[in-house]
Structure 1
Amino acid sequence: MELLAQQARFTVIKEIIRIPLIMNISHNIVITRPLKDVAAYLSDIANDSVWQEDVLKSAVTSQGPLGKGTSGYEIRSVMGFPMRTEWIVTLYEPEKRLLFASTNSAVPYEGSMEFEPVEGGTRLRYRFSTKAEGIAGLLDPLMEFFF
């Protein structure tokens, strides 16, 4: 019985550790607002904490208008703990798409928002994925081996 409890505990630990390492999120929704409004609102980093419930704070750290090379940070609640990540805009086409990637994060990530006018509003395609690189990349195979 003790061995079974230990194996179950290791399985839970493995899942808790592995879940945050590799993650892919994809949303494809139509927002009943004009493209210009949707793109402006979602591209404004100050609004991140309004539409992403786990974002506690976010800010742009570079000067100038939003564009390729714009940098910033977010503080997210991850499993109840604040986690700061820094990011950079890798591609920006106003009212079309915004691509971003982490520059300093415990778990590297990248994502995109694509905007498309459709009847009745704007289609938003949102993608976000974490990558098992750095420490996470080293831990991922070890978790598989040990657990």
Structure 2
Amino acid sequence: MIHVVRTMLVSRTMRDAAAYFADFAHAEEWDPATVSCVRLDQGPVGPGSRWRNVSRFRGRTSELSYRLDVREVDRLVFTGENGSVLVTDDLRFTPVSADSTRLTYSATFGFKGIARLAAPFLRKEVDRLAGDIADALPRVTAR
């Protein structure tokens, strides 16, 4: 299992930041590894909403099914899964000022089957990916 945490400042109110990130389709904008992310259901975004996310990791493309598990005023939790990995993204929002929010982004990667053997070798790449997100996210949310 690999766990990474990044904390960054976003130029949005806590309410606006949480609403933006609740729609996981926006991962196309803030996650440099995401190739596409499409919502699979309709209606208001809430617990149970689902997305198909295609990402590029280590030069390979993989598809994960994501679900929003928790939607609170100051927290979002998504679970993404395919045959090789279970990913939990936990986003926590703390107001800093009237128009800025501290976002603490935690991701846990639990590898399945034979992929578990590769986990120790993937830590560096997962850390790089988390760093890329931390670099991109504040720029994207300032728009």
Give the TM-score normalised by structure 1.
0.70
Residue among 36, 43, 65 paired with 1:86: 65
Q: Which has the larger radius of gyration?
A: 1
Which position in structure 1 is the counterpart of 2:25?
46
SS in 2 for 1:101: strand
Aligned-CA RMSD value: 2.2
Between 1:113-122 and 1:55-64, the stretch displaced more is 113-122
Q: Tell me by how many angstroms 1:102 deviates.
A: 2.2
Gaps of 5+ in 2: 122-143
C-alpha contact 2:18 2:76 (8 A) present in aligned 1: no
Aligned pair count reads 119
Which protein is richer in strand relative to its size? 2
Amino acid of the structure 1 residue aligned with 2:3: N
TM-score of the superposition, structure 2-length normalised? 0.72
Query: Secondary structure at the residue paired with 1:131?
Result: strand
Aligned to 1:56: 35
The answer for unaligned runs of 5 or more in structure 1 is 1-21
What's the offset of the Cα at 1:140? 5.8
Residue 97 of structure 1 is matched in structure 2 by 75
In the other structure, the counterpart of 2:110 is 131
1:42-100 CA-partner distances (Å, limit 9, x unpaired): 2222321111101000011122211111111100001112110112111111x421101
The answer for the alignment partner of 2:136 in structure 1 is none
2:12 maps to: 33
Within a 5 Å distance, the mapping from 1:59-74 to structure 2 comes to 59-74=38-53
Structure 1 segments, 4+ long, off by >4 Å, are none
